[in-house]
Amino acid sequence: MFMKRNIILFLVILCGFVLQTTLFQALSFGGISPNILIIITVSYGFMYGKKYGMVVGFLCGLLMDIFYGNVLGFYALVYLYIGAANGVFHSIFFQEDIKLPLVLILVSDFAYLFTCYVLLFLLRGRFDFLFYLKHTIFPEIVYTIFVTVFIYPCILVLNRTMDDVERGDHRVV
């Protein structure tokens, strides 16, 4: 059972990454595409707690590092902490509530983008924060939140089904 859940988790991350780099790049508005991996990391973080959030974040980040990062481990570290931070909210998570996920994804995406700006741009002397806020950070957050409304229910349904199957198995055994 545990195995099955992990395989599905791996497939979700893979699908998210492939869609983000292909389909959503084609659907980008003004060169801005949504951040699917952060939706996955945050969702798993508060649905299953810190440990899952960390592992999912680490895997998502590592995938980005291998393909697009200049330094291996950078995105992995950022996503790792985002996943862990969202795990804290596991205790106040209710499946019916969509406000919490939206707020958490918004805050996490902003934290992620701000970290990227500071470490990848500010340290190289690109000081015009307002420009980057207006042209990259803000559009990406808006687009990501918009996409969350469609993707989050899918993740929720998937996990609920997994839970049901798991509980059913339990009863039989």
| DSSP annotation string for 97-114 | --HHHHHHHHHHHHHHHH
Q: Where are the beta strands (DSSP E) in the chain?
A: none
143 touches 135 (CB < 8 A): no
Among 7, 8, 9, 17, binds other proteins (CB under 8 A): 17
List phi, psi (to 5°) of 30.
Answer: 55, 40
Query: How far is 148 from 101, CA to CA, in rounded Å?
Result: 9
2 binds other proteins (CB under 8 A): yes
Under rule CB under 8 A, how many of the chain's residues touch other proteins? 61
Among 4, 7, 40, 58, binds other proteins (CB under 8 A): 58
Query: How far is 104 from 118, CA to CA, in rounded Å?
Result: 21
Report DSSP state, residue 123: G
150 binds other proteins (CB under 8 A): no
Query: How far is 119 from 153, CA to CA, in rounded Å?
Result: 33
What is the contact mask toward other proteins in residues 110 to 149, using x (rule: CB under 8 A)? ------xx--xx--x-x-x--xx--xx--xx---------
72 binds other proteins (CB under 8 A): yes
162 binds other proteins (CB under 8 A): no
| Binding footprint of other proteins on the chain (CB under 8 A) | 2, 14, 17-23, 25-26, 31-33, 35, 37, 48-52, 54-55, 58, 61, 63-68, 70-74, 76-77, 80, 84, 87, 90-95, 116-117, 120-121, 124, 126, 128, 131-132, 135-136, 139-140, 166
